[in-house]
């Protein structure tokens, strides 16, 4: 039996993060949704696997919505039904979540971090925590091979702390869990981190960060506040970039929805939702609940609009040739290149925008 993660129904609801990726490739907690499924299913060998190909006539394939965020406890409870291709009910429970809106990535991140930490570290022993650090609740801290953490404060009393393979926490950092620094990521000197925060693979982070998710290969490498926010891949926040996450009136925050073509209420707190390949100039200030699309270059002496459309360059439209050139420049800084598949995705999105 195989599971196909279908995002045809939900994809548009999770803009801007699904404009350039499958819903299952959204990172929440430590792993992406697809990685969670693969890791969990590997614990049931010769039972169920993931597949990227399906058709309606294939009776050996179960089609599930890609916005389902599973936990190992939930999967254990329904594995027999999945094997029999029986219907599964998804009621409100602490064992499984549905990602229906982009702001729920940071709203569910506390839950997802705790579930992923339990999943990844079960039955394993952490690398030793260097003695130069001040450690609180060390039993809730896990360092992978090659992780380098020195002269910092690690407080895991409120939630677990996970430091990925070859990740680095520079001296003077203050970290309060739940927190994940994924493989190859760097937390720069003197950073102040509040849970529930995820720094994705090969990203650089600094300053003050709270309840935010930064996807892979992005940079928030200088001072400035990032709170209740989600930053896509290959983004760069210039020095001093800061977002508001709470209105001055302490009233309800509304965020732009591409599906509803309107602003929707999301609760009392929401910061910045930024799509892949977007960047901000130094000292940029983002209003509460700002949505920035894919491949935007934000610079101005005033607050940017609360909704910035794809391929915006200041107040103009980015030319496609320059898009490809600039993204390649950023990728080369981390030893990568823009693939032909990525170019095709961007070209399709550009013609549709």
Choice between 167 and 44, residue whose per-residue pLDDT is larger: 167
Strands 253-257 and 262-267: antiparallel
Judge if the upstream peptide bond of residue 132 is cis by omega within 30 degrees of 0: no
Give per-residue pLDDT as tens, 291-318.
999 999 999 878 899 999 999 999 899 9
pLDDT of residue 166: 98
Contacts of 191 (CB under 8 A, 6+ apart): 170, 172, 173, 174, 175, 205, 206, 207, 208, 209
What is the average pLDDT value for the chain, to the nearest integer?
93
Q: Give the number of C-alpha atoms closer than 13 A to the C-alpha of residue 286, restricted to the C-beta side.
A: 34
**pLDDT band at 58, cuts 50/70/90?**
low
Indicate yes or no: pTM above 0.85: yes
pLDDT of residue 224: 97
Distance CA 3, CA 21 (A): 19
Task: Kindly give the interhelix angle for 109-121 and 33-41, rounded to the nearest 10 degrees.
Answer: 30
Domains of the chain: 2-100 (no CATH), 130-352 (2.160.10.10)
CB 283 within 8 A of CB 238: yes
- The conformational region for residue 277 under phi > 0 = left, psi -120 to 50 = alpha, else beta, is left
pLDDT of residue 63: 85
CB 133 within 8 A of CB 152: yes
Examine the pLDDT at 167 and tell me if it is beyond 70.
yes
pLDDT of residue 324: 96
Give per-residue pLDDT as tens, 91-149.
667 889 999 999 999 999 999 999 999 999 999 999 999 999 999 999 999 999 999 99
208: exposed, middle or buried (Cβ count in 10 Å: 0-12, 13-18, 19+): middle
Give per-residue pLDDT as tens, 253-267.
999 998 999 999 999
Question: Using CA of residue 320, residue 331, residue 289, residue 117, what is the dihedral sign?
Answer: positive
> What DSSP string describes 93-109?
BTTBEE--STTHHHHSH
Q: Phi, psi at residue 61, to the nearest 5°?
A: -115, 130
């Amino acid at each position: 039996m195989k599971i196909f993660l279908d995002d045809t129904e939900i994809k548009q609801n999770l803009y801007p993060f699904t404009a350039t990726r499958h819903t299952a490739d959204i990172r929440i907690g430590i792993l992406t949704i697809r990685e969670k499924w693969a890791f969990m299913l590997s614990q049931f060998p010769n039972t169920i696997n993931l597949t990227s190909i399906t058709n309606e006539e294939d009776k050996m394939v179960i089609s599930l919505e890609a916005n389902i965020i599973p936990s190992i406890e939930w999967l254990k409870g329904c594995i027999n039904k999945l094997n029999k291709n029986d219907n599964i009910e998804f009621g409100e429970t602490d064992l499984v979540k549905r990602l229906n809106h982009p702001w729920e990535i940071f709203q569910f991140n506390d839950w997802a971090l705790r579930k992923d930490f339990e999943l990844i570290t079960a039955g394993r022993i952490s690398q030793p925590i260097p003695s130069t650090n001040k450690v609180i609740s060390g039993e809730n801290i896990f360092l992978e091979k090659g992780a380098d953490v020195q002269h910092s404060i690690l407080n895991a009393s409120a939630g677990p702390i996970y430091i990925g393979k070859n990740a680095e926490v520079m001296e003077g950092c203050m970290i309060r869990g739940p927190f994940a620094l994924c493989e190859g990521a760097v937390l720069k000197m003197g950073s102040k981190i509040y849970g529930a925060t995820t720094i994705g693979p090969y990203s650089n982070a600094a300053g003050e960060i709270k309840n935010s998710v930064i996807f892979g290969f992005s940079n928030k490498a200088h001072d400035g506040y990032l709170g209740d926010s989600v930053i896509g891949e290959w983004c760069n926040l210039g020095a001093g970039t800061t977002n508001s996450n709470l209105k001055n009136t302490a009233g309800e925050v509304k965020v732009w929805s591409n599906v509803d073509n309107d602003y929707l209420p999301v609760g009392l707190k929401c910061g910045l939702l930024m799509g892949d390949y977007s960047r901000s100039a130094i000292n940029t200030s983002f209003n509460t609940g700002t949505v920035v699309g894919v491949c935007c270059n934000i610079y101005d002496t005033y607050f940017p609009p609360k909704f910035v459309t794809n391929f915006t360059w200041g107040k103009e439209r980015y030319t496609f040739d320059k898009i490809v050139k600039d993204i390649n420049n950023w990728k080369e800084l981390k030893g990568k290149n823009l693939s032909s598949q990525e170019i095709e995705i961007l070209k399709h999105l550009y013609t549709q925008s």
